[in-house]
Amino acid sequence: MGFEVIPAIDLRAGRCVRLAQGDFSRETIWSDEPADVARRWTDAGARVIHVVDLDGAASGAPVNLDMLCEIRASTGASIQFGGGLRTDASVGAALAAGADRVVLGTALISRPEWVSELCERYGDRVVAGIDARRGRVAVEGWLEATAMRIAEVAERASRMGVRRVLVTDIEKDGMLEGPSLDALREVVSRATFDVLASGGISSLDDLRAVRDVGAAGAIVGQALYAGRIDLAEAIAAFSDPLSPPRERAG
């Protein structure tokens, strides 16, 4: 399979929004109908859509599951869903509402044994989300910093049996200034899993750079909404199944 180009839909109060650097006070509303946005990305060829419940991430439990249900009804693409998934009940609710993959971030730090159990139960449906600001991992909807560095959490995720990790540079997120390749390279060099990149991607060249570092795919948000990247063009450009395999550590 080629490099995955994955469009993002961020949910807040039932709307499709984008935040700058994860700052809830710097919000742009792109649509009152997230399901319509999902249809648009599906029509452009998306095989996976990344959906984030921003309200859930901040509150500690999913808030926009009704929107997830509507998105599920609108698309045949796989849905990767995160935001406030910190208990068995919340993960079960997200899967029941239509998520194909669940993204766990805060729990990597606060409940690593539980994440390991979920990996045994759900396999590659579990995605580890490593969100960092200035090299330090952030939790609780990016509102709280920890002392842990990206590489430490990547190695922890590997020990948990995680098969897919999403790495986000918070300071790059929504800024269209290019991805943080050094941080991404650090994770890929330790990876026993597929790595997805997020934050700062603004062009096809940025996507190529992320791919060439060794990532398996990238989340694209602001660049799509601002018209900097055409999703259909990007998917076509990176869908070559004959591309050389990535090298992995280990």
Q: Where are the domains of the chain?
A: 4-237
Task: Say whether 10 is catalytic.
Answer: yes
In sequence order, what are the beta bridge partners of 81? 51, 102
| pLDDT given at position 175 | 56
pLDDT exceeds 70 at position 246:
no
Task: Say whether 43 is catalytic.
Answer: no
Q: What is the pLDDT of residues 218-234, one digit of tens each?
A: 999 999 999 999 999 99
Q: From the candidates 53, 55, 100, 131, which is the catalytic residue?
A: 131
Please state the rounded mean pLDDT for residues 142-161.
79
Rounded Cα distance, 217 and 82, in Å: 17
Provide the 10 A C-beta neighbour count for residue 129: 28
CA-based angle 32:38:40, to the nearest 5? Answer: 95
| pLDDT given at position 248 | 34
**93-100 CB contacts, 8 Å cutoff, 24+ apart:** 93/62, 93/65, 94/62, 94/65, 94/68, 95/125, 97/65, 97/68, 97/69, 97/72, 98/68, 98/69, 98/71, 98/72, 98/73, 99/51, 99/68, 99/72, 100/48, 100/125
| Banded model confidence at residue 203, pLDDT cuts 50, 70, 90 | very high
Rounded Cα distance, 16 and 81, in Å: 14
| pLDDT given at position 186 | 84
Q: From the candidates 10, 55, 173, 206, which is the catalytic residue?
A: 10
Rounded Cα distance, 57 and 39, in Å: 24
- CA proximity to 198, closest of 119, 104, 108, 129: 129
CB crowding 21-52: b at 16 or more within 10 Å, else e:
ebeeeebeebeeebbebbebbbebbbebbbbb
pLDDT exceeds 80 at position 140:
no
| pLDDT given at position 143 | 61
| The CATH classification of domain 4-237, taken from the options 3.30.300.10, 2.50.20.10, 3.30.465.10, 3.20.20.70 | 3.20.20.70
Rounded Cα distance, 158 and 163, in Å: 8
Of all residues in the chain, what percent are helix, strand and coil, respectively (each to 5)? 40, 30, 35
Q: What is the pLDDT of residues 70-105, one digit of tens each?
A: 999 999 999 999 999 999 999 999 999 999 999 998
Provide the 10 A C-beta neighbour count for residue 156: 19
Beta strand pairing status for 48-53 and 78-82? parallel
Query: Torsion-angle region of residue 60: left (phi > 0), alpha (psi -120 to 50) or beta?
Result: left
Please state the rounded mean pLDDT for residues 5-22.
87
Structure tokens, 150: 């990206």
The whole-model pTM stands at 0.88
Please state the rounded mean pLDDT for residues 15-28.
73
